[in-house]
Amino acid sequence: MSRNTAVARTGSEQALAVYQQLRARPGTAFDEVADRLELSAEERERCRDELVSLGLTAPSPDPSAAVDAVVDPDVALLRLLRRERDRLRERLAATSRAHTALEALAGPFLRAGATPRGEIEVEIVDDPHRIRRSLADLTDSVRTAAHFMHTGSVRREELPGELAQDRQWAERGVRIRAMYSRRAASVPEMAQHLEERAALGVEVRFASVVPMNMVLADENFALLPTDPHDLSSAAILARGPGLVRSYLALYEYCWTAAAPYGEEETAEKGGDGLSEQQRAALLMLASGIKDEQIAKNLGVSLRTVSRLLSEVMQELGAASRFEAGVKASRLGLLDGEGAERGV
């Protein structure tokens, strides 16, 4: 057996032997006892530390004394218990202070930090990772309804995650509505994805013109672009019913004008002889939007826009675009009323 192993096993026995010698010979120095017991420097240090930690020896109250004070075991035990009691009291006091602080935070301070129903929070976010995190957080936070606008197809890598999100929400009874540009359904992969979303209970509609990408949730969350025509632009992150309800009103207007999934073909003509695409081009023309932007919004070429507007003029019996706008207004085609049917 090596010496180190023996030392490891007899360390406390050595400390006990030193302590007994110190008690039997009051006034004897520690080093004198250690010499008598033939302890190495390492053993001496270990024994000294053990006795001090147990409170069995302590520096002499007389600075000039060369020996340590030896403490009776019962006194050392009482002192140790007293220190632990004082330490426990301090811990309890700290716990009580923390509990009081938590109560204060969970009470008026927490209510003061909450967003009142009439107030709003608006933030411009240009970090794509932050935008994705905000959208991911919706999976757990949405309680009643989520509404989406898509100007184009969803990226391929996002499709599985969207379906997983739909399943979670469907299990919790969340209403999900998704509005897409009509051209999104022309992409085979998207057509399959939309069929799967509809099978999960997602309400899907198509429109010739979707004004912007938009996400709304529970009348308390909105995410939309700062520039609807630039997909790389920063996003507006809004919270609070005071503002989100306004976006929801816009969404409801667009939703009403869109065709439900599976009914796109029957909704192609609007009872006045204009197709939905022609009507959309007419509305944008009357709003002062230039042909280039109309083409971009519809996802068609400039040539197609010219053809659509020519067809509108022919349908309305107008000799110019201006006249077409006037006649469309008189017919109620610009507000969806269709109040008049004669010119």
Is 272 in contact with 263 (CB distance < 8 Å)?
no
The per-residue pLDDT for 61 is 64
Between 116 and 242, residue with greater pLDDT: 242
**Mean pLDDT, range 238-247, rounded to an integer:** 85
Between 313 and 288, residue with greater pLDDT: 313
Instruction: Convert the pLDDT of each residue in 88-112 to its tens digit.
Output: 888 887 777 777 776 666 655 555 5
How far is it, in rounded angstroms, from Cα 238 to Cα 115? Answer: 12
* Range among 105-119, 138-152, 291-305 rated most confident: 138-152
How far is it, in rounded angstroms, from Cα 317 to Cα 313? Answer: 6
Question: Predicted confidence band at 203 (pLDDT cuts at 50, 70, 90)?
Answer: very high
Q: Is the pLDDT of residue 163 over 80?
A: yes
DSSP string spanning 259-273?
EETT-TTTTSEETTT
The per-residue pLDDT for 240 is 86
The per-residue pLDDT for 199 is 92
Is 319 in contact with 310 (CB distance < 8 Å)?
no
The per-residue pLDDT for 177 is 95
CA dihedral angle for residue 94, residue 98, residue 104, residue 110, rounded to 10 degrees: 160
CA of residue 42 relative to chain centroid, distance: 57
Average pLDDT score over the chain: 79
Q: Is the pLDDT of residue 175 over 90?
A: yes
Between 266 and 38, residue with greater pLDDT: 38
* CA–CA–CA angle 85, 86, 88 (5° rounding): 65
**Mean pLDDT, range 124-131, rounded to an integer:** 86
Between 176 and 153, residue with greater pLDDT: 176
The per-residue pLDDT for 108 is 59
How far is it, in rounded angstroms, from Cα 193 to Cα 161? Answer: 11
Instruction: Please name which of 129, 131, 145 lies closest in space to residue 244, comparing C-alpha atoms.
Output: 145
pTM: predicted TM-score of the whole model, two decimal places = 0.49
How far is it, in rounded angstroms, from Cα 216 to Cα 142? Answer: 10
Window from 27-36, 148-157, 191-200 with minimum mean pLDDT = 148-157
Question: Predicted confidence band at 3 (pLDDT cuts at 50, 70, 90)?
Answer: very low
How far is it, in rounded angstroms, from Cα 175 to Cα 218? Answer: 10
Strands 274-275 and 203-207, how do they pair?
A: unpaired
Instruction: Please name which of 326, 292, 295 lies closest in space to residue 312, comparing C-alpha atoms.
Output: 326
Share of the chain above pLDDT 70, in %: 82
Instruction: Convert the pLDDT of each residue in 24-65 to its tens digit.
Output: 888 888 888 999 999 999 998 999 888 988 888 887 666 665
**For 288, left (φ over 0), alpha (ψ -120 to 50), or beta?**
left
